[in-house]
Structure 1
Amino acid sequence: MIINATELAFRIVNQGSLDVPLPGRGDTATRFRTLADFCHRDIAVGSLVEAHLDADAILEEIAGERVGPAQLWGVWAAQPSQTPVMATRNAGVWELTGAKHWCSGVVACSHALVTADVGDEHQLFAVDLRQAGVRAERGGWVATGMRATETGTALFDRAVARPVGEPGEYVNRPGFWHGGIGVAACWLGGARKVAGPLFAAVGERDDDLMLMHLGAVDALLAQGRALLEQAAVSIDAAPKDECAARRLAFRVRWGVEQIATAVIDRVARALGPEPLVGNRNHAQAVSDLSVYLRESDADRDLVTLGRLATPIPTEILR
């Protein structure tokens, strides 16, 4: 049975007790483990759940409020080169006009946090997507990876919106970077999913080369868990330190990206093409994770980290 990722994500966040700790409140490690577990089960579903939980954390940190029942939130903050969404205030009411691209869950989400231009600045707005001024388009996503997230374009035509914080506040806060590490936790969960067939295959045949790759994958995944656990400790120790959170996010995201990429490669080298062409779930997981990892800015992130690492920190000199 093909999973309807958006419907399943809606059920996960609205049925039962989804009690995921907020970042920086003393149990960030549980938050990261939970995000990884969701993507271990299904990468597309996990990414949608992560966005909803991130929206909840953003609203709590900036506005002191939480998402409501029977809702599925997206966080649509990508700034591609196309025409930006503009926010204007008319008779005391904020309205959004324009096209926001790369919106995950564009059809299924009931609400979203959307970045828009206010003059020369960017500001975050909460939008009820069920109003007449919002239209969803699913076209343009040709990749098989993350297709189940129904990523598309949200078209706003004087859609009523509510500002969340001041201009620039969304990105200039520690929680922005905590959320970025949460995405890295999802990448690691996806890497665990990709590794599944290798662990299963080793139990069926005795092959030294396969065992070598399995040993490497096991060590890589353990390294990723350790990175996230240490990051959680650092966040809980200094939840308000935006500078420390920024540098930590670039370190952890790059590290987990390398781990996930290496796992994809190791599994393919160990098992050959068979699971990629004969195992639908594995092929989808590899495709999903490959696309999901590109939320990273790759080498540009390393340039930023290099700037943040200057001057050389004293702990490296010791």
Structure 2
Amino acid sequence: MEERLQAVTTPVLLESSAAGFSPWGSILRAIPEAAGDVPALLALAVEAGETWPRPGEGRTSLLFELLASVAAIDVAAARVFEPHLDAIAILSQAARTDTADQPAAAGSAGGTSWGVFAAEAPGARLNARPEGAAAVLDGAKPWCSLAAGLDRAVVTAHTDDGGRAAFAVDLRHPGVRCEEPAWVARGLREIPSGTVHFDHVPALPLGGTGWYHSRPGFAWGGMGVAACWLGGAVGAARDFRAGLLAGADAGREPDQVALAALGEVDRILAAAMQYLARTATHIDDGSLAAAGQSTWSEAQRVRGTVAAAVERVLQLVLSNRGPGPLAFDERYAKRMADLGLYVRQHHGARDDAQLGRLTLKGDCPW
């Protein structure tokens, strides 16, 4: 049992050594037992938020490794960790850490859980108007994952000047109402996303109009999501390799087709991991901006490259493992469903079109 747990919680290393990763191992070892238990995962995410690095502060590669390692264990766990860690980073970037020091309305000694709600959708609009040194939020915000189980959130809202700004808000305020999500997805079943309604809810401004989307941290956060996708693909690849080894132990040696698929999975993952590691280094040393590229164009390259890698790994693993594990291996079936949905956060050709516009203007490395 201990050997299996160690294999499941093996970290995804971009640059670190396995020995250097040991200070971060206790949370990873706790995830398999907590998988599927959202309050337990939130507690672990809050614990991680106290010590795990923030992007752009010198250890971005380690942050990406940690996010990928969580996703390699359980994709839905990463979907809990990533927004909490992103919110903590946003608060730091906005120099508004005082919002994190306020007592959680429904928290424990372990701290306050955070989400980030920045999506837009037709028919749902959240407006902010100033009220003294703070602001008041009214309206609806779509795609708010786990809102009913969180203490606080960073949310974006429309401002009187026609822009959008970010705000820190207490989700336990009586003016906040979380709809019961009509969540029918088979992937990320424990991470439902629904609409949250705000009725005269006080909020603290973070960074001013336009700051949320223009800061480098917006791109860094998008790359953190890509690290989660990549970690999920590593988990799927490990399942594939373990299945081939188990078959060989039972006398069924993998054929050339299976070996070719495993080889392709290996080179795809190796290339994506190297790209993510290199980009993390450029974030920390400032060379990304010095090369004349925008941080967002690089984020789009990273996200698109990782998303394509994940899609291909999913295709290879699914086609080679066949229907049996999907039907009878609960952990594997959950991983594939969770990852298939999570990677849909990449908008495919639309994101490529946005990158193409930047490339046409000369925002490219070639």
User: What TM-score, normalized by structure 1, do the two folds share?
Assistant: 0.93
What corresponds to 2:261 in structure 1? 213
What whole-Å deviation, never above 9, does each CA across 1:155-200 have from its counterpart, x for those lacking one? Answer: 1111111111111100001110011000000000111122232111
Shift of 1:243: 5.1
The separation in 2 between residues aligned to 1:32 and 1:233, in whole angstroms, is: 11
Q: CA deviation at 1:306?
A: 1.1
Q: Is the contact between residue 12 and residue 18 of structure 1 (CA under 8 Å) also seen in structure 2?
A: no
1:264 equivalent to 2:306? Answer no
The farther-off stretch of 91-100 and 246-255 is 91-100
Aligned to 1:246: 296
| CA distance in 2 between partners of 1:165 and 1:17 (Å) | 21
**Aligned mates of 2:282, 2:235 — CA distance in 1:** 27
8 Å contact 1:174–1:240 — kept in the other structure? Answer: no
> Which of the residues 101, 123, 133 maps onto 2:165?
123
Moved more, 82-91 or 272-281: 82-91
Aligned length: 316
Seen in structure 2, the aligned counterparts of structure 1 residues 156 and 312 have a Cα distance that, compared at 3 Å, is: closer
| Structure 2 residue 221 is matched with structure 1 residue 179 | yes
> Counterpart in 1 of 2:360?
310
Other-structure match for 1:37: 69
Residue 14 of structure 1 deviates from its aligned partner by 3.4
Aligned to 1:149: 191
Contact 1:146 1:288 in 2 (8 A): yes
TM-score, with structure 2 as normaliser: 0.81
Q: Verify the 8 A CA contact 1:195 1:267 in the aligned structure 2.
A: yes
Alignment of 1:276-291 (within 5 A): 276-291=326-341
Deviates more, 1:147-156 or 1:263-272: 147-156
Q: CA offsets per residue over residues 76-110 of structure 1, 9 Å max, x none? A: 00011122011123465521111211111111110
1:230 is matched with 278
- Structure 2 residues not aligned, in runs of 5+: 1-32, 102-109
One-letter amino acid matched to 1:222: A
CA deviation profile, 1:16-53 (whole Å, cap 9, x unmatched): 78522111122111010001011111111111111011
Q: Distance in 1 between matches of 2:323 and 2:354?
A: 37
Structure 2: which amino acid aligns with 1:49? Answer: F
Change in CA separation of 1:102 and 1:16 when aligned onto 2, cut-off 3 Å: closer
Q: Percent identity among equivalent residues?
A: 35
Contact 1:191 1:264 in 2 (8 A): yes
Q: Distance in 1 between matches of 2:294 and 2:286?
A: 8
Bigger RCO of structures 1 and 2 (CA < 8 A, at least 6 apart): 1
* Residue 143 of structure 2 corresponds to residue 95 of structure 1: no
Task: Tell me, in whole angstroms, the C-alpha distance in 2 between the residues paired with 1:276 and 1:13.
Answer: 29
Listed one character per residue, the Cα deviations across residues 278-314 of structure 1 (whole Å, up to 9, x for unaligned) are 1122111111111111111211111111121125578
More moved, 1-10 vs 21-30: 1-10
Alignment-mate amino acid for residue 360 of structure 2 = T
* Equivalent residue letter for 2:114: W
